[in-house]
Every structure is written in structure tokens, then in C-alpha cells.
Amino acid sequence: MLQTHLKELGIDYPQPGQEINSGPYSIRITAPADSREVRLSIDDGPWQPCRKEDGHWWFDWSAEDPGEHVAVTRVIEEDGSLIVGQPRLFAVKPG
């Protein structure tokens, strides 16, 4: 079952249109409290697992490719529901 809960799921950082420095970067995601799994895809790549810490989910990324990127999150809740977040456009500064 596919659902969309935009108020409960979102990428906190990077902000929309934000330009980040190249190198290691941790993407912060807010997801519903009953999330059993959170994954993130960058530029239509494979869904990668995120880690839960301090009330948020995190994806540690090596921001090596300068230019614009799009990240999308998806969550599987305890009841098996699938939530897909809105795409987040951001950019990486040239190193």
C-alpha cells in the first residue's frame, strides 16, 4: 500500500536549493515515529538504508559530484505501509 504523508516525512538537510561543500555530508531525514525502515535515493540511484539516531534518520553521503542533485526518501512503517517523500533538489559546490 503506497501512501504519502508529506507532513511526517521530509529531508531536513540539505534545505531546498541549498549548495553544500563537496566531501562527506550527512543528510537528515524526519520520518514518522513508527517507521521500521528509511531509505534514500540520490539521482534515481539505488535505495540506500539510513541509520536512526537522535530522533532522526541519517544518510552519510560522499558529495563528490559537483552540480545539482535530487534526493528522495521512502519509509516502510510498522504496518507495512510505504511512504514516499517529495524530491529534494540541492547542489554540490565544485571542490
Specify the number of domains making up the chain: 1
CB 58 within 8 A of CB 26: yes
Which residue type occupies 29? I
| Residue 34 belongs to domain with CATH number | 2.60.40.10
pLDDT, tens digit (0-9, with 9 covering 90-100), for 43-80:
999 999 999 998 899 999 999 899 999 999 999 988 88
**Spatial CB neighbours of 50, under 8 Å, sequence gap ≥ 6:** 29, 38, 39, 40, 57, 58, 59, 73
Cell of 5: 504523508
90 dihedral zone (left: phi>0; alpha: psi -120 to 50; beta): beta
The amino acid occupying position 67 is G
What are the tens digits of pLDDT across the range 8-56?
Answer: 789 999 999 999 999 999 999 999 888 999 999 999 999 999 999 988 9
Q: How far is CA 12 from CA 5, 19, 21, 38, 87, in A?
A: 15, 14, 17, 14, 12
pTM for this one? 0.87
Q: Domain limits at 39?
A: 2-92
